[in-house]
């Protein structure tokens, strides 16, 4: 990852995230974008210039160390009112700023104060994760055209997403050497370069077996050679399949299934796998935590929500669910009973 164009104060922090904390290149790239935007804003305010005209290299130690809490609040207000960013985006930016200042106040000990320390994160709406029902999941799998040259590969990708709950980055990063020779299990590399083993069900084994039989031949049929020999999933060009390619074909399948405007995405397949395992498969939440590779149990617990169908079944299970009033036993309410206080009824 090239950090050479960034100010040294950012390079030190990003290198720490990448090399010491083991964050992925994508995560570090997001930190970089968030902090560059914040520092550009701070410089524009200090220099009276538009954001796109400031030089980020002016953000030296003295400048950044002396930024105030008011600057942080002002930046969050700018994101909300000018950029119209949602609370989740503003919270993410603030998190990057807090992590940055924590590094320089607690690790490097170069800053005496942290202007972001007491700044509260925007309140986020707690929404249930969006996921496909079991019926929708089967419809998605069945929607793939068997005449498509990439059918075996794409079906294998979908069944792995829906069965194992892996992240997009984890799936495209799978190597042939990560797959057990008996196709019983495979290893994925998650956040922070942490590896975990996922066991494969019969559907995954079958899909993998079918794909591996045609993996090399499909590349040769496109008059290409395999460039990334160890990559499990290959593009038409014989290279490791990209995240964008996977996102594109999954989006296309959602459209084919009539699910275009339902808010589904590749990441929602991970939500679906987790929800189906817990809801339909009764998988214990701590086991689910290991499968998904979550550090904290409370992250996994968002999948323990109850569905509308569960709620419907619960009320239907009440012993009074079939109760019908006895029409023979009517009470005359036309006359008030003596001594009855209507306000207490």
Catalytic (active site) residue 167: yes
Residue 66 to residues 36, 132, 280, Cα–Cα distance (Å): 17, 49, 54
Exactly one of 153, 167, 271, 278 is catalytic; name it.
167
Exactly one of 45, 205, 236, 267 is catalytic; name it.
267
Task: Quote the CA–CA distance of 305 and 255 in Å, as a whole number.
Answer: 27
Q: Are 112 and 138 in contact (CB under 8 A)?
A: no
Exactly one of 93, 215, 268, 294 is catalytic; name it.
294
Catalytic (active site) residue 191: yes
Among the listed residues 63, 66, 62, 59, the one whose alpha carbon sits nearest the alpha carbon of residue 7: 59
Catalytic (active site) residue 270: yes
Exactly one of 303, 324, 328, 338 is catalytic; name it.
303
Exactly one of 191, 196, 205, 236 is catalytic; name it.
191
Task: Quote the CA–CA distance of 56 and 259 in Å, as a whole number.
Answer: 43
The region, left, alpha or beta by phi > 0 then psi within -120 to 50, assigned to residue 174 is beta
Catalytic (active site) residue 16: no
Phi, psi angles (nearest 5°) of residue 6: -95, 155
Catalytic (active site) residue 303: yes
Task: Quote the CA–CA distance of 78 and 98 in Å, as a whole number.
Answer: 18
Catalytic (active site) residue 267: yes
Task: Quote the CA–CA distance of 138 and 143 in Å, as a whole number.
Answer: 8
Q: Are 275 and 300 in contact (CB under 8 A)?
A: no
Exactly one of 17, 90, 270, 271 is catalytic; name it.
270
Q: Catalytic residues, which ones?
A: 167, 191, 267, 270, 294, 303
């Amino acid at each position: 990852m090239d950090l050479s164009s960034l100010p040294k104060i950012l390079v030190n922090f990003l290198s720490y995230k990448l090399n010491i904390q083991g964050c992925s290149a994508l995560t570090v790239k997001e930190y970089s974008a968030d902090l560059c935007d914040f520092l550009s804003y701070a410089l524009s305010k200090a220099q009276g210039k538009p954001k796109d005209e400031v030089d980020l290299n002016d953000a030296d130690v003295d400048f950044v160390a002396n930024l105030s809490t008011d600057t942080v609040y002002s930046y969050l207000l700018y994101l909300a009112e000018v950029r119209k960013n949602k609370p989740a985006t503003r919270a993410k930016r603030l998190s990057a700023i807090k992590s940055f200042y924590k590094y320089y106040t607690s690790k490097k000990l170069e800053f005496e104060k942290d202007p972001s320390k007491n700044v509260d994160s925007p309140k986020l709406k707690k929404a249930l994760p969006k996921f496909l029902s079991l019926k929708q999941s089967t419809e998605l799998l069945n929607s793939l055209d068997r005449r498509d040259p990439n059918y075996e590969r794409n079906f294998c990708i979908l069944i792995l997403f829906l069965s194992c709950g892996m992240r997009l980055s984890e799936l495209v990063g799978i190597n042939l050497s990560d797959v057990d020779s008996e196709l019983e299990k495979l290893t994925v590399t998650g956040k922070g370069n942490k590896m975990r083993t996922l066991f494969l069900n019969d559907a995954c084994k079958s899909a993998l077996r079918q794909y591996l039989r045609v993996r090399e031949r499909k590349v040769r049929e496109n008059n290409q050679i395999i460039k990334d020999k160890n990559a499990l999933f290959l593009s038409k060009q014989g290279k490791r399949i990209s995240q964008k390619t996977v996102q594109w074909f999954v989006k296309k399948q959602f459209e084919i299934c009539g699910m275009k405007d339902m808010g589904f995405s590749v990441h929602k397949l991970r939500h679906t796998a987790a929800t189906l395992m817990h809801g339909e498969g009764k998988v214990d939440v701590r086991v689910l935590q290991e499968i998904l590779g979550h550090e904290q149990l409370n992250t996994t617990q968002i999948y323990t929500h109850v569905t509308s169908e569960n709620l419907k079944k619960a009320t239907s299970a009440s012993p009074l669910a079939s109760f019908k009033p006895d029409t023979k036993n009517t009470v005359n309410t036309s006359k008030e009973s003596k001594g009855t206080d209507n306000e207490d009824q």
